[in-house]
Amino acid sequence: MRLSTEPLDLPLASPFRIARSVQTHGRNVLLRLRADEHGDEYEGWGEAAPTAYYGESRETVEAALARFADVLSDDPFQHEDIMAEVGRLLGKNGAAKAALDMALYDLAGKRLGAPLYRLLGLNPARAPATSFTLGIDAPAEMARKAAAARDYPILKIKVGTPHDVEIVKAIREVTGATLRVDANAAWTAKQAIATINALAPYDIEFVEQPVAAGDLDGLRLVREHVSIPVIADESCVTLDDIARVAGRADGINIKLMKCGGVSHALKMIHAARAHNLSIMLGCMAAESSIAITAAAHLTPLVDYADLDGPLLLASDPYVGVRYEHGKLLLPDGPGLGVHSRQARSGADAPPIGK
């Protein structure tokens, strides 16, 4: 197999603010993986959405993928061996691994003529609705955006400000949508307990990552003192974290860019079920339809989806998973089932099946 990368710049529709940072665009990486069989050439696509918080950048992804090129066999169906070798070669680099992992699935699916959800034995009708995320802003502005997002039945509200209760109250006044809240590790355990209990009257489905990633005792304390379920995101990155989080949170948020791809996410899903944890599949703020569609193929296995990446972009160069009132509609094409938007007009047609 031959591996090549190119920069994938993804401007966001508007600056996206969370408790610790604000983002205006994604400096992502597109991965192309090519293989020949019986004279036909097949091409699999992957995407890395690196974030500084998890120690990655476009440059670290490109360097990591250049090293992966040396360990690739010619057989994309040796998925477990390839990813195990990649794991031995490098530690963290979740986004770089995720790009390779989804490209392997895309390639294998195209060679078999089957969409990824079929390779995984999943029923696309079980894909849930995604939430639509509102970044931090003034309470009135967040309420205006919540009202404008009426096509989405689930809203995720970013908090971690001095006026979190005011934000949620303002949003609840303009919408009957299911509301989720994400503090992105901004609160102390004491602040979290007080704030979450103050949010209870506004009918919140769950609260994500109330305390610092490493504060597992705080996480447990919060869970024991609030009535709203608690989901661990920053505290749960890879498979190794599941047993540590179990008993301290009600559920976990799996992201391909944190854990290293679909194959690792599958292992996390089964481990989480064994620990009675509920499961959300989430994404980074700037991910195109390549990475989001890869994650969407797994959603028939999970309880909650937060896969709104393409909805937050100024424009998405790719077409894959679609949204119908928030419900994820998985594409039927082979592999990830993603094609480039301009291919619709015939130019630069992507390889379909080969």
- Residue 94 has which token pair? 């979740």
Residues 257, 284: contact at Cβ < 8 Å? yes
Choice among 233, 287, 308, 316 that is catalytic: 233
Nearest residue to Mg ion by CB is 233
For residue 36, indicate whether it is catalytic. Answer: no
For residue 97, indicate whether it is catalytic. Answer: no
What gap in Å lies between CA 12 and CA 184, rounded to an integer?
19
82 vs 281, beta carbon nearer Mg ion: 281
18 vs 96, beta carbon nearer Mg ion: 18
> For strand 327-329 and strand 322-324, is the pairing parallel, antiparallel, or unpaired?
antiparallel
What gap in Å lies between CA 262 and CA 102, rounded to an integer?
7
Helix axes 94-112, 289-296, angle to 10 degrees: 70
To the nearest whole angstrom, how small is the minimum distance from the Cβ of residue 184 to Mg ion? Answer: 6
For residue 6, indicate whether it is catalytic. Answer: no
What gap in Å lies between CA 167 and CA 171, rounded to an integer?
6
Task: Return the H-helix or E-strand segment holding 98.
Answer: helix 94-112
- If DSSP codes are grouped into helix, strand and coil, which group holds residue 27? strand
Verify binding: residue 56, Mg ion, rule CB under 5 A.
Answer: no
For residue 182, indicate whether it is catalytic. Answer: yes
Number of residues that bind Mg ion (CB under 5 A): 3
Choice among 110, 158, 215, 234 that is catalytic: 158
158 vs 264, beta carbon nearer Mg ion: 158
Verify binding: residue 182, Mg ion, rule CB under 5 A.
Answer: yes
| Residues numbered 194-223 forming contacts with Mg ion, rule: CB under 5 A | 208
For residue 9, indicate whether it is catalytic. Answer: no
Verify binding: residue 233, Mg ion, rule CB under 5 A.
Answer: yes
Residues near Mg ion (CB under 5 A): 182, 208, 233
Catalytic residues: 158, 182, 208, 233, 255
